[in-house]
Chains A and B, each alone.
Chain A
Amino acid sequence: MARDDVVIEVDRVVTRFGAQAVHDGVSFTVRRGTLVALIGGSGTGKSVLLREIIGLQRPTEGRIRLLGTDMWSSPPDALNAVRRRFGMMFQDGALFSSLTVAQNVAVPLIEHASVPPSLLEPLIRLRLAQAGLGPDAAGKMPSELSGGMRKRAAIARALALEPEVLFLDEPTSGLDPTTARGFDALVRSLVDDLGITVFLVTHDLDTLLTVVDRIIVLARGAVLADGTMREILAVDDPWIRSYFSVRATVNS
């Protein structure tokens, strides 16, 4: 049980680009059914770490296990099996530009799930609705969508196979505050209603304050702090203080 409870396991990961070390022993675990945010200044390798967890980029050293599968030493079959169990939303959506929104959502369903034809359309409609999109968006091409809708369509595609873990790269960047808060509520409901584990990279303080269960702070190549918002604020570190002081200024 305890083993199954840990969904993401990052163990002493080291990443170097040439002489420059981005990560120098990063370790943390993420438990099932939680909403965890990874934060850190620019250039601390948040996105790189995300790409390493989902198997797009190889870390120089260290181990990464996702849903019990070692992402960098497992056979291709096991990796393909695990790829069907997580979803990823890239920063700009990365929708397939030659397909409509509905066709984008249908791709994983047709490729990886044997959905009966009569249920395919209702299922696509459900996925769009779960991502907060109406049926009128279904026939649009990605180039016709606004930034927020593109992100929602990307979430719908990432949700298609009902993943156990969902990765989001800066889900609220480039969105207006109202849309961003709607997005936060959407992500929270995925965790609460569907039991999905969400791991996101963000810079959005409102997201951190309102919906995130746990925050992992990446700085100087390692995990600087790890815990709830309250615990993070208690950490005495100049970077953390300046990061969150912006918020305090607005409040006062």
Chain B
Amino acid sequence: MNDAPRDTRPRAHLERASDAAGDVLRLTGSWRLAGLETIDAELRALQLPARLTVDASQLAELDSAAALALLTRLPPGVQWRGLAANDTRIIEQVRSRIEGVPNLPPHRRESVLEAIGHRANGIARMGHGHLAFLGAAVLGIVGTILRPRRLRVRELSAQFEQVCLNAIPVVALVTLLIGVVVTYLLGLQAKQYGANIFVVDGIGIGATREFAPIIVAIIVAGRSGAAFTAQLGSMRMTEETDAIQTLGLSPLDVLVLPRVIALMVAMPLLVFIGDVMSLAGGMLIAEPMLDITPQTFLERLRDALDISHVYVGLSKAPVFALAIAVIGCHMGMTVERDTRAVGMATTSTVVQSIVSVILLDAAFAIFYQELGI
């Protein structure tokens, strides 16, 4: 059925006998890795005397795995006879390769406590690294403002296209749908009290102040933060970053600053799009569900939504962007040079970016609360 010729080979077999030479073990058939399980079982089932002759004259084939089984299971100092020349070479090769070689060191697993310590240390180091990198990035930005010619305009515009223009469709779609869903949920409650019109207040303030910035930041973290790490990480693997350095250029100027600045400019724009789209989403569902016409919606919005809420939301955007870009670039610039590390760093970037965005948002909430805005 199967056309693999190995299946038609005679099975490995051994027989005990005794003749003039004493105890004899006769090997027949094809001794190969494929039959190793049976070979090993048969060898181990034997009670072998120390003085033994192995007769290999009927042996059809021998490979090094089977030779290993023979050498490990048979007592040392057996006599071989009838061994073909090439089989002798295989046995000699295996013997020379395993003699005097110590066992493999056992695979060491670290204990739970050790693992916790390692991870905690790793996180602390990484946090420290992020802060140092943040400092370098901010200094770089200040330097760029003081000396605008340092800015690499072509790289900046390419990055801006990537992180802003290409992100518009997904940002618009997601925030539109979130606007619909949030308005719908608010509407379900408001309807019970006949407070339909206050849904506009809710979606207006909620969207512009809180969730448009957060949703956009999460999308950007997954899209651009991950991309930064993957791009810079693979550039490190191919030694492109080293090439930049040896050409007398600064990787910070060439690679990092364009990304950081592009993202910091892009985020407020994306958040603004998010504001508009989530309000549009609210407006879409308000009419069929709550009988609020678009005109009423807009009029109510003008009365209820103080412009300061929009400014608060927009003011968070560049800070979120800075955090995401710094984490993304730093993870990429410090990744170890192997493929697995790039994948892990990319995942880590997304997680860290989202967590830091949420933490920053909480800090903003307290900050603006204290300021009374």
Interface positions of A (Cβ within 8 A of B): 4, 68-69, 74, 77-78, 81-82, 85, 97-98, 100, 102, 113-116, 118-119, 121-126, 129-130, 134-136, 138-139, 141-143, 161-162, 189, 192-195
Contact in complex: B32, A162 (CB < 8 Å): yes
Asked if B89 is at the interface of the complex by the 8 Å CB criterion, the answer is yes
A134-B101, A162-B33, A195-B90 known, 13 other contacts, Cβ within 8 Å = A82-B4, A115-B36, A115-B37, A122-B98, A123-B65, A123-B68, A125-B101, A126-B98, A130-B93, A135-B102, A135-B104, A142-B338, A194-B90
Contact in complex: A192, B36 (CB < 8 Å): no
Contact in complex: B5, A68 (CB < 8 Å): yes
Asked if B94 is at the interface of the complex by the 8 Å CB criterion, the answer is yes
Cβ contacts under 8 Å, A162 to chain B:
32-33, 63-65
Q: How distant is B183 from chain A, measured CB to nearest CB, in Å?
A: 46
Cβ contacts under 8 Å, B92 to chain A:
193
Total interface residues on B, CB under 8 Å, equals 39
Contact in complex: A124, B34 (CB < 8 Å): no
Cβ contacts under 8 Å, A100 to chain B:
107
A100–B32 Cα gap in the complex (Å)? 26
Contact with A along B45-85 (1 / 0, CB 8 A): 00000000000000000011100110010000000000000
Contact in complex: A129, B98 (CB < 8 Å): yes
Cβ contacts under 8 Å, A193 to chain B:
89-90, 92-93
Interface positions of B (Cβ within 8 A of A): 2-6, 32-34, 36-37, 40-41, 63-65, 68-69, 72, 86, 89-90, 92-94, 97-98, 101-105, 107-108, 336-341
Q: How distant is A44 from chain B, measured CB to nearest CB, in Å?
A: 25
Cβ contacts under 8 Å, A74 to chain B:
3
Known: A77-B2, A116-B41. A126 touches B97 (CB 8 A): yes
Contact in complex: A78, B105 (CB < 8 Å): no
Cβ contacts under 8 Å, B339 to chain A:
97
Q: Which residue of A113, A115, A135, A141 contacts B103 across the interface (Cβ within 8 Å)?
A: A135
Contact in complex: B101, A129 (CB < 8 Å): yes
A119–B37 Cα gap in the complex (Å)? 9
Contact in complex: A113, B337 (CB < 8 Å): no
A189–B64 Cα gap in the complex (Å)? 13
Q: Which residue of B40, B102, B105 contacts A116 across the interface (Cβ within 8 Å)?
A: B40
Known: A78-B3, A162-B64, A194-B64. A135 touches B101 (CB 8 A): yes
Cβ contacts under 8 Å, B69 to chain A:
119
Cβ contacts under 8 Å, A192 to chain B:
89
Contact in complex: A194, B63 (CB < 8 Å): yes
Cβ contacts under 8 Å, A141 to chain B:
338
Contact in complex: B105, A139 (CB < 8 Å): yes
A139–B105 Cα gap in the complex (Å)? 7
Closest to B7 in A: A81
Contact in complex: B101, A119 (CB < 8 Å): no
Q: How distant is B66 from chain A, measured CB to nearest CB, in Å?
A: 9
Q: Lowest 7 A-B CB distances belong to which pairs?
A: A81-B4, A129-B97, A143-B338, A97-B340, A193-B93, A114-B37, A116-B40
Cβ contacts under 8 Å, B33 to chain A:
113, 115, 161-162
Known: A123-B68, A135-B102. A116 touches B36 (CB 8 A): yes
Closest to B99 in A: A129
Contact in complex: A69, B3 (CB < 8 Å): yes
Cβ contacts under 8 Å, A130 to chain B:
64, 93, 97
A207–B4 Cα gap in the complex (Å)? 33
Interface CB pairs A-B, < 8 A, 10: A78-B4, A81-B3, A116-B36, A125-B101, A138-B104, A138-B105, A142-B338, A143-B336, A143-B337, A194-B64
Cβ contacts under 8 Å, B65 to chain A:
113, 115, 123, 126, 162
Cβ contacts under 8 Å, B2 to chain A:
77-78, 81
A130–B353 Cα gap in the complex (Å)? 47
Contact in complex: B104, A125 (CB < 8 Å): yes
Cβ contacts under 8 Å, A82 to chain B:
4
A141–B344 Cα gap in the complex (Å)? 16
Closest to B89 in A: A193
Q: How distant is A143 from chain B, measured CB to nearest CB, in Å?
A: 4
Known: A82-B4, A121-B104, A162-B63. A98 touches B340 (CB 8 A): yes
Q: How distant is B297 from chain A, measured CB to nearest CB, in Å?
A: 54
A85–B32 Cα gap in the complex (Å)? 12
Cβ contacts under 8 Å, A121 to chain B:
103-104
